[in-house]
Amino acid sequence: MFRSRAERKVEEAGYDPARLPPGQYLTEKWPVLHAGDVPSYARGLAGWDFRVYGEVERPLTLTWDELDELPKETVVQDIHCVTRWSRFDAEFTGVPWSAVRERVTPLPAAHFAIAHAEAGFTTNVPASALGLEGALLVTHADGEPLAPEHGWPLRLVVPGRYFWKSAKWLRAIELRIELRATDAPGFWERYGYHNDADPWNEERYAF
């Protein structure tokens, strides 16, 4: 059977090549890629908060301590960057959407979610993606608190999509109703990145 060079390296590393999406290569590193500077925060995250608002019955604002008290889960999953690297068996610990959803109760018409991060960065996913197995509001990676360059203190992780959909330095999630054929495009989507971002279909760009 034909194997690409990238697939052969995956096989040589002891993994199933079927885990590697097309056009990707495997790395054990976690490359750092983002727009803008790494934000800084006050000591003890004083003044930091996380909001959920929009099409919900009860908008919610949590301090860091309040968020940190919510139930947490640990998941292990593969992550895939649109710049073509993939990292297998990344471990993330964080708050599942279910723990937040029960506190805000999204309205039935809330089909889309906009993740709001520092410096005005946004990215968008279907609201249903927040409830997928492995989707978390992440506080720890590989057993340690998130490094600042990887989104400390909080980032979104959404499985099954290129990793730009997993916004770093997360500050809010806005739930929206369906106003058009697709949800409101986020930062990279406005620059031509694909709205759906499925690695297995190589949905890198909209053009």
The matching CATH number, chosen from 3.80.10.10, 3.20.20.450, 3.30.450.20, 3.90.420.10, for 48-201 is 3.90.420.10
Burial class (CB in 10 A: 0-12, 13-18, 19+), 29: exposed
- Residue 73 binned pLDDT confidence (cut-offs 50, 70, 90): very high
Q: How many CA atoms lie within 13 A of 204 on its CB side?
A: 11
Helices (H), the chain: 5-12, 64-68, 97-104, 187-190
> Would you state the pLDDT for residue 11?
86
* Bridge partners (DSSP) listed for residue 137: 95, 156
Rounded mean pLDDT of 18-34?
89
Q: Is the pLDDT confidence value at 78 over 60?
A: yes
CB 113 within 8 A of CB 124: yes
Q: Per residue in 136-195, pLDDT tens? A: 999 999 999 999 999 999 999 999 999 999 999 999 999 998 655 456 788 888 878 888
In the predicted model, what is the mean pLDDT of the chain?
91
76 vs 90: CA distance, rounded Å: 5
- Classify 179 as helix, strand or coil: coil
* Least confident piece of the model among 26-35, 59-68, 88-97, 160-169: 26-35
Rounded mean pLDDT of 115-143?
94
How long a stretch of residues is the chain?
A: 207
> Would you state the pLDDT for residue 1?
39
Domain boundaries, the chain: 48-201
> Would you state the pLDDT for residue 140?
98
Task: Provide the whole-model pTM.
Answer: 0.89
